[in-house]
């Protein structure tokens, strides 16, 4: 999914706890689902950022030579302006775009 086109807010806003817990019936399960989704989003964004920065990387053997790479700075600024992964995950969860299921363990208890 293209997380750069998300409608998630850039800053934290107040949410209704009841609306968050409606899908799962339990606020702790909803937070757990959002946290796991945020981890996945964060790893995908980090991977994409490193790939883009690698395109502009220059390797110097001389440590005294430090120079700015404008392209790397612009790419970094762009990614800094994106909403945080937790906000993206919560927005997707509330708009029911997140699929989650419960794994059954040996004791027939449900786990996320």
Model confidence pLDDT, tens digit, residues 13-47: 888 899 898 988 899 999 999 999 999 999 999 99
Give me the residue spans of the domains in the chain.
6-57+67-99
Model confidence pLDDT, tens digit, residues 41-68: 999 999 998 888 888 776 665 555 556 6
Model confidence pLDDT, tens digit, residues 83-92: 999 999 998 9
How does DSSP classify residue 10?
S
**Whole-structure pTM value:** 0.74
CB proximity list for 33: less than 8 A, separation 6 or greater: 24, 93, 98, 100, 112
For 104, phi then psi, to 5°, come to: -90, 130
């Amino acid at each position: 999914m293209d997380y750069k086109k998300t409608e998630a807010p850039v800053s934290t806003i107040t949410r209704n706890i009841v609306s968050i817990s409606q899908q799962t019936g339990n606020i702790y399960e909803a937070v757990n689902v959002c946290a796991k989704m945020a981890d996945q989003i964060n790893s995908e964004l980090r991977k994409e950022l490193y790939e883009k920065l690698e395109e502009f990387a220059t390797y110097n053997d001389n440590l005294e030579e430090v120079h700015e790479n404008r392209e790397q700075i612009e790419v970094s600024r762009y990614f800094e302006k994106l909403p945080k992964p937790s906000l993206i995950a919560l927005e997707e969860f509330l708009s029911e775009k997140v699929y989650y299921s419960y794994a059954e363990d040996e004791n027939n208890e449900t786990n996320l």
